[in-house]
Structure 1
């Protein structure tokens, strides 16, 4: 792995603005205006770069969640009557504040997660993109729509959309900015309130980004952030929300899905993945190797859509392995806020232990480690080298289980049919990637059982295509984010239909039998002449 000049970060090296913001957020860490006099249970927040505590937030209770819903429901009753024009102004101001404060936001994301600068900036761009898209399109997605009736002349039918009430959001630590507010934006602009639980490891990013939203004009009580454990706070949110948005593991997603299902409450979830990448013989191998580095090791591999297995047509296998491994070995690792660092830290001791477990299991069972495979305490407490394996045996855990770290294995295939079969041989179906000539890529992409497929890219192009809904197939998720569905899932549809000209079952002056014959004739002619929907 490339040796760098980057040193371990110290508290003294924190940017001044970040240090000030941290102090302010810690002083005001609260559940419903509980400040630093709060004497309940606290959660200490650690910076992975440092391995040191940087602040605390309160650890909420089920009672705190109930109080949060009380505030949110009251605020939502007023918010639902705010015109779309005003809602759009708020979120456009928010968009501008996100861009204005991009450096501070990147600093906070890095400090809480340990990721590199480029990965933190991805989150800033995503939030701004999200706010702009939904502020530009909310009226189109929410406007009443005329719908056809069985007898269009005799009835006028309109579909209305109404906000559901209070949306519950449970977000993860790996993208605390994008996922901390990205799903809340369409929920709020559609007219809902939100009660959100940020991950216990990354609450300050959520506190900071929602502070900017309040500065943009959003009513303060409309969003309630309740910090605490998933078992207590997350469960209480699932028990009281009108719709639940969850991003996290498949195991937890199943538990929450069952919980909200008992109340017949709507649910959207992005869950785990074991994402494949296919490289065809007609791919540009140098370009594919560069793309694969980003696909596998962005965010230190700690993202649901990260690539963890690569299938290469046999004629291109040696060329790709050599080119890819050379790029991986040249990657720069380090802590801090320098833009040139290509990969940062893992997020915690638990993540480091998980990655070590999977790699050592594969090594002991005979896998060949051609890059990485070691932790790097010289750079920080939770650093692990980007790791590439070949010859991974069938019984190795990482062959089928999600590692959620900077680990990928490469396998040759005889042809693209085999590659597609192996790509689909999983219980997951979140993301996939194909590097090939354009025609080949478009032939392969739709055949992969995955909610999103990026062609000649790892995942950023499909994620950034915000007008196109994305979610998981199989055990990788339920429902979608982005696009019209990303907002409309937070609404209830209402069918309002007016009968016109005569009673639907006919005038009283005509017998039921005669009227039925008339209707049969109309239905037959409607099919023949396409007069009916």
Structure 2
């Protein structure tokens, strides 16, 4: 994303194409000059804290300034690593990884049980940093604290068993002893985005480290302080120096060396970038896991509890100002309750508490960048110009802050409109009517994406959920029901990615399996004077017997 001050256009960049975005930028600049009283920085963001966090980053000569979405004020001068410096970063990581991998899994896990407690004890600062860098509400920032505590506890508890030697069935019962062990990949590159600045900076790093790897991470510059605070807490918890390094910089400059030096790649971002990285990883024969874009559907059935579903829709659609890969952008409502439901939802959307505060009162916060404001404004303007009806929102709110945009609900969206099939990644939702369950499922599946979905209703909902082409499907709750269940995998289908985070796979993907077999007493050749023909007959009898006794 662009590291330009909200409400301004970077030097050499094109002016915003969207009329609404341009007007909002001008109004925000005027308001800032007049001092409208936008949300100030929280007291936790002291110069001492910023200096300590920046000292945790890989040293670099260049810097770029980041800005707070709430008020447009500068946050920090973020060091920018050059491509030439990445080789040194990986050399340091490999040196640290050898000693870390030699430790027992239990000892590695103890670090993250301490980490769990440090996150809990420092949750107010974490939430402040999330809001400062992202612009989301306090309640959404709290979800980031909760998620990382869940993740740290879960992998610290399950890793010793999952990573321990696993007994396997040998080719000959009793005579062949086989075990499977898990070897760390080595150094994992983690490339993480800005929309969950704490979660996505930490949640993939925890299992990679517990598995015995080192991590070199490139978070988005706009998430730098959250990522560095995550690293700072890990070092306080006892993680050795050099094992987790944060290299900040532009993907266009350091993306290639991050991939070329890696033994495994974990990427969260756009489908376009994911395709490129997957192809490049394939050329190097290294594995990768990717969570990419989505255009996520929600089905509301005739027997859904309208009040509960309306409230759930608000969280599903407008949490994080819609800048959430698993949030809902397509809302399908069955015909019988369509008018009542859409009427109730429209009223709630129009009255959502929108604003900037470091308390828990607000229901939706700010966008994160000028770029997102321009994309969202242009998508809505395009839809309205082609006949879509605005039920709620559809305008920027520079009076609240430079990057505020009202939660928006549209009706009558058609295929010729940009936002119909393309991910908007903002607080914009299209509502549609459907008659039968089969029609609703078909509409939900009419996309190249397959990241997340939601079904709301009473009877037989599980069967309907299983028919939807998505990596996670929640029933009668927003995405947190699936995302927060860290024992279960979370990943996308189709253009939404490959592999998954969380669950068993979320840990084991950072390892390579090795099989160790020991043959006892007899070899696997004909013994003594036995001929090969006799040996064949004996083996066939043994294999038939193993089948009859249901030996696996």
Normalised TM-score (structure 2): 0.92
Query: Matched residues in 2 for 1:199 and 1:147: separation?
Result: 43
Q: Does 1:23 align with 2:44?
A: no
Query: Matched residues in 1 for 2:196 and 2:517: separation?
Result: 44
Q: What's 2:341 paired with?
A: 320
Q: What's 1:443 paired with?
A: 463
* Equivalent pair of 2:115/2:152 in contact (CA under 8 Å): yes
- Pairing of 1:384-463 with structure 2 (within 5 A): 384-437=405-458, 439-463=459-483
Q: What SS does the corresponding residue of 2:46 show, helix, strand or coil?
A: helix
Query: Matched residues in 2 for 1:27 and 1:195: separation?
Result: 16
Q: What's 1:278 paired with?
A: 299
Q: Does 1:333 align with 2:360?
A: no
* Equivalent pair of 2:198/2:223 in contact (CA under 8 Å): no
Query: Matched residues in 1 for 2:283 and 2:445: separation?
Result: 32
Q: Does 1:165 align with 2:186?
A: yes
Shift of 1:528: 2.8
Normalised TM-score (structure 1): 0.95
Q: What SS does the corresponding residue of 1:63 show, helix, strand or coil?
A: helix
* Equivalent pair of 1:312/1:413 in contact (CA under 8 Å): yes
Query: Matched residues in 1 for 2:48 and 2:445: separation?
Result: 46
Q: What SS does the corresponding residue of 1:152 show, helix, strand or coil?
A: coil
Shift of 1:526: 2.3
**How many residue pairs end up in the alignment?**
518
- Pairing of 1:351-370 with structure 2 (within 5 A): 351-370=372-391
- Pairing of 1:73-222 with structure 2 (within 5 A): 73-222=94-243
Q: Does 1:523 align with 2:543?
A: yes
Q: What's 2:13 paired with?
A: none
* Equivalent pair of 1:9/1:49 in contact (CA under 8 Å): no
Change (3 A) 1:149 1:227: same
* Equivalent pair of 2:54/2:78 in contact (CA under 8 Å): no
Query: Matched residues in 1 for 2:452 and 2:361: separation?
Result: 27
Query: Matched residues in 2 for 1:43 and 1:391: separation?
Result: 42
Shift of 1:41: 2.2
Shift of 1:520: 1.4
* Equivalent pair of 1:64/1:226 in contact (CA under 8 Å): no
Change (3 A) 1:219 1:50: same
Shift of 1:10: 4.9
Query: Matched residues in 1 for 2:320 and 2:49: separation?
Result: 22
- Pairing of 1:451-530 with structure 2 (within 5 A): 451-530=471-550
Can you list the C-alpha shifts for 1:471-504, whole angstroms capped at 9, x where unaligned?
A: 0011111111111111000001001111123111
* Equivalent pair of 2:274/2:292 in contact (CA under 8 Å): yes
Q: What's 2:86 paired with?
A: 65
Shift of 1:81: 1.4
Q: Does 1:382 align with 2:409?
A: no
Shift of 1:67: 1.0
Structure 1 range deviating more: 391-400 or 305-314: 391-400
Q: What SS does the corresponding residue of 2:96 show, helix, strand or coil?
A: helix
Query: Matched residues in 2 for 1:333 and 1:9: separation?
Result: 16
Query: Matched residues in 1 for 2:36 and 2:256: separation?
Result: 38
Q: What SS does the corresponding residue of 1:470 show, helix, strand or coil?
A: coil
* Equivalent pair of 1:29/1:57 in contact (CA under 8 Å): no
Query: Matched residues in 1 for 2:254 and 2:190: separation?
Result: 11
Query: Matched residues in 2 for 1:366 and 1:426: separation?
Result: 22
Correspondent of 1:254 among 275, 282, 288:
275
Q: What SS does the corresponding residue of 2:544 show, helix, strand or coil?
A: helix
Gaps of 5+ in 1: 1-6
Shift of 1:113: 0.8
Shift of 1:85: 2.8
Query: Matched residues in 1 for 2:62 and 2:411: separation?
Result: 47
Query: Matched residues in 1 for 2:198 and 2:543: separation?
Result: 55
RMSD: 1.4
Query: Matched residues in 2 for 1:259 and 1:59: separation?
Result: 23
Q: What SS does the corresponding residue of 1:316 show, helix, strand or coil?
A: helix
